[in-house]
Structure 1
Amino acid sequence: MFRFSLFVMLVLLSSCRQQVEKKPTETRPPEVAEKDTKGSVGQEVQKLKSFEGLADTTFVRLADFSDDFVYDIRYATENNFLKAKVYDCAECYTRVKTAKALIKANKEFISKGYRIKFFDCYRPNSVQYKMWQLVPNPQYVANPVKGSIHNKGGAVDITLVDMQGNELDMGTDFDFFGKKAHHEFTELPDEVLQNRKLLKETMEKHGFWAIRTEWWHYNLSAGSNDKVANFKWPCPN
């Protein structure tokens, strides 16, 4: 009897020891989404695209290749000299070669504490016809039969903003058609002249050229020989 009781006690002690020494069950933490592909609530964040494999004349949406720009596409609103909305929705498309040059120019502006803000980019030729119907004056609107460099994807209308998004003073608003908007007009505060000089010299350094009468307008030198296009960008449903 004594031996049986001793045997039972030994068995019980062994069982208790095994439970004490047994490691706790490991629980794996929930998978953490990659920072560059998921948002904080699990929503997909679109990665920036690469120009690799794209011809220089391909039309691209600039925001897909850089998130360092600011946009105020005026012709998608009534806040323009036409007083009419002529774009179905606000987008900034250019040819690949124009986009590459803009990104390089913007990197230099960023190093100085500024960024490019767009008022207009590529413009379908059908929109040029709409504008011509509203204002059939070649002094303000290019004749759509010939088209403009905007219709070729090689022209942009821009200004500069600081890193908080405040526009630099350029002396006039976009689409101000008067001598005050001309590059040679110098009866302006020194700050305005310096801002225009910064914009012009930097853009010219990266392959763009200005037109005499509009401080905001820049053409890519390598884009002037492209064909007038009527590519239309998709709008959100």
Structure 2
Amino acid sequence: MFTTAVSAPVTAQAATGDTAPPEFVALHDVAPSILQEIRYNTPHNFMGSRINGYEEPLCILTAPAAQALAKAERTFLAQGYTLKVYDCYRPQRAVDSFVTWAEDLDDELMKGEFYPRVEKTDLFTDGYIAAKSGHSRGSTVDLTLVKLPAATTRPYVPGEPLAPCYAPAKKRFPDNSIDMGTGYDCFDTLAHTLDPRIVGTQRANRLKLKNALESLGFVNLAEEWWHFTYSPETFPSDYFDFPVSRDSLSN
């Protein structure tokens, strides 16, 4: 879950505003067939609890990013797949929660799944956690592909045994995603999109997602196969803090 280390200050709107600018939309209103599994609205994430600011399991994006995803979805539907988003716009308050969590070295509740081979003391220096995230600008999305007809994914039960996110697909937590070689939000070098250890079907699956999205203006983050930013960004330097909810949208 690489965040973006930047020196640009959070704007006044990002710090205090609870209403999104009119350029933001709910993805469901633009592309209703895209599946949404907003992990930070659930306890199934690297912190093990619902994240501050995620009031609803809702994907919010800038309109150009949402429209580009709708184009990608039409292409994938014709091929027998659908997109599924894990995270979209992320409020600054959520990023602040990540930082606070990373500084608490005693809290390793979800280490067994999300960062088995990374020491928590290294999360900042290794780039997994930072004070700012491109998600807070509204044009970045975490997503995968699901083969149709989509199977259901059972909910995570807090306290259940954890399996490493880099384990074989049948051994890690079940996900209706096609096999991308790791689970989502895997703090491990195997999650790097073009890691040479990822071969065969897993590599082909990553490239299927990457190539299609890049043809529509998205840019992949090399360290995360699931992370894409639409370019040009509507807000290239603003970091927002309105909560993830329908009430935050002004349209």
CA contact (8 A) 1:210 1:217 kept: yes
Asked if residue 161 in structure 1 is aligned to residue 146 in structure 2, the reply is yes
* Secondary structure in structure 1 of the residue aligned to 2:84: strand
Which residue of structure 2 lines up, in the alignment, with residue 13 of structure 1?
A: none
Equivalent position to 1:175, from 167, 173, 185: 185
> Which structure dedicates a bigger proportion of its chain to helix?
1
Equivalent position to 1:225, from 236, 244, 248: 236
Structure number with larger C-alpha Rg: 1
Higher relative contact order (CA 8 A, sep 6+): 2
Equivalent position to 2:34, from 69, 72, 76: 69
Q: What is the Cα-based RMSD across aligned positions, in Å?
A: 1.9
Instruction: Please give the alpha-carbon distance, in whole angstroms, between the structure 2 residues aligned to 1:189 and 1:229.
Output: 38
Cα deviation for residue 89 of structure 1 reads 2.3
Which residue of structure 1 lines up, in the alignment, with residue 69 of structure 2?
A: 102
Scaled by the length of structure 2, what TM-score is found? 0.66
* Secondary structure in structure 2 of the residue aligned to 1:135: helix
After the TM superposition, which of the residue ranges 130-139 and 68-77 deviates more from structure 2? 130-139
* Secondary structure in structure 2 of the residue aligned to 1:177: coil
Question: Matches of residues 178-193 of structure 1 in structure 2 within 5 Å?
Answer: 178-193=188-203
Which residue of structure 2 lines up, in the alignment, with residue 3 of structure 1?
A: none
Equivalent position to 2:130, from 134, 142, 154: 142
CA contact (8 A) 1:113 1:163 kept: yes
Give structure 1 regions of 4+ aligned residues with deviation exceeding 4 angstroms. none
Which residue of structure 2 lines up, in the alignment, with residue 22 of structure 1?
A: none
Cα deviation for residue 108 of structure 1 reads 1.2
Kindly tell me: are residues 235 and 103 of structure 1, through their superposed partners in 2, closer, same or farther at Cα, counting changes over 3 Å? Answer: closer
Equivalent position to 2:46, from 81, 86, 92: 81
Which residue of structure 1 lines up, in the alignment, with residue 15 of structure 2?
A: none
Scaled by the length of structure 1, what TM-score is found? 0.70
CA contact (8 A) 2:90 2:244 kept: no
Instruction: Please give the alpha-carbon distance, in whole angstroms, between the structure 1 residues aligned to 2:220 and 2:244.
Output: 26
* Secondary structure in structure 2 of the residue aligned to 1:157: strand
Kindly tell me: are residues 62 and 212 of structure 1, through their superposed partners in 2, closer, same or farther at Cα, counting changes over 3 Å? Answer: same
Equivalent position to 1:119, from 69, 80, 86: 86
CA contact (8 A) 2:55 2:245 kept: no
Instruction: Please give the alpha-carbon distance, in whole angstroms, between the structure 1 residues aligned to 2:96 and 2:177.
Output: 31
CA contact (8 A) 1:82 1:135 kept: no
Which whole-Å deviations, capped at 9, do the CAs of 1:187-235 have from their partners, x for residues lacking one?
Answer: 2341101000100001100111111111010011211614111122436
Instruction: Please give the alpha-carbon distance, in whole angstroms, between the structure 2 residues aligned to 1:192 and 1:210.
Output: 17
Asked if residue 211 in structure 1 is aligned to residue 204 in structure 2, the reply is no
